[in-house]
Amino acid sequence: MPPPTYRQAVEDAISIVNSASAGDSVAAQKALTALEAGTGHNQPEIIADLTMKPPDLADAKTRLHSLLDALTSPAITTDPDQAHQQLKQVLSMKRYDALHQPPSLADRIGQWIRDRVNELLRLLFGGGKGTSIPVAYFYLLGAVAVVVAAVVIFRSTRGHLDEGAFARGPLGPRAPADYFAEADRLAAGGDRVGAIRALCAGVAATLAGERTWEGSPLTVREIFQHANEPARLRPLLLPFEAAVYGGRDVDPETYKRAEVAAAPFRKPAQAAAA
C-alpha cells in the first residue's frame, strides 16, 4: 500500500485529533503515526505537541489546521524569476552574511551531540516514544557536554597555543620576530605543524602585543579579526585550526600559502628587530 500524500496525512491527523478528548495519549500516538506516514519529520512543532506527556492536542489541532490552510492556498507568484532575483538581493545584504558562512566548530559539535542524543533515544525507546524520561534532560546533558567542549577549545586557543612547540624558547613575553624565527627553524626541520603554530603566534603578537600568549582571553580567530583584512589570514588560520582541532598534518603547499599570508605581519617585526 503506497504511503499517503502530504495533504492526506495532515487531514488524517486532523480527523483523529478532532475526535480526541484532551490529554488522550492513544489518540495522539495515532495522529502522530498518521502525520509522519506522509510528512516524515517535517513538522517538529506538531510532533512535539503530540509526544508531550500529556499531549497538547489543542495546540496540535491549531497547527494542523494552519498547515492544511497553507497547503490549500499556497503562496504563488506570477513571475517566479523576478521573485527569485529579489530573494537573492535580500539575502546578499550584509545583515545576512552569517547565512553564507559555514557552521562554526561549536555549531558542528552541538549538532554532533544532538544527533548522538537522538540516536540514543531511538535505540533505547524506539524513536523517543514512550519514554518516561523527558527528552529535555538528554538535551541538557548534551548542552553540558557542549559547554565542556567549549571550555577545552577556549583554553587551547588562548595564550600558550602549544607549550610544547615553544618549550625550547625563553619564558615570558616574546617578540613577534622570535616566533617567526621559531617558525623558520621548525619548518626547516620538517615540523610544519609546529611551524604554522609559531607563524600564528607571530602574527597574533604583531596584532595584539607580545603578551598575547601569556594570558589573552581571545581565540586565534578573534585576534586575527583585528587585522585590516582578516580574510587574507584564512590560509594561515584554517590549516592551524585543522591541525589543532582535527589533528591533521600540514603539507608543504599549505604551509607555503600560510607563510605568504603571514608575510605582511612578519616584515614590520623584522624591521623593528634590525
Q: What are the tens digits of pLDDT across the range 141-171?
A: 666 776 777 666 665 544 444 444 444 444 5
Q: Is the peptide bond before 54 cis (omega within 30 degrees of 0)?
A: yes
C-beta separation of 109 from 149 below 8 A: yes
- Output the pTM of the full model: 0.38
Instruction: Report the pLDDT value the prediction gives residue 166, as an integer from 0 to 100.
Output: 45
pLDDT band at 134 (very low <50, low <70, confident <90, very high): low
**Confidence check: pLDDT of 221 > 90:** no
pLDDT score at 159: 42
Nearest to 66 by CA among 2, 3, 127, 13: 13
Banded pLDDT at 214 (limits 50, 70, 90): low
Query: How confident is the prediction for the chain on average, in pLDDT?
Result: 78
Q: Which of 9-18, 117-126, 221-230 has the highest mean pLDDT?
A: 9-18
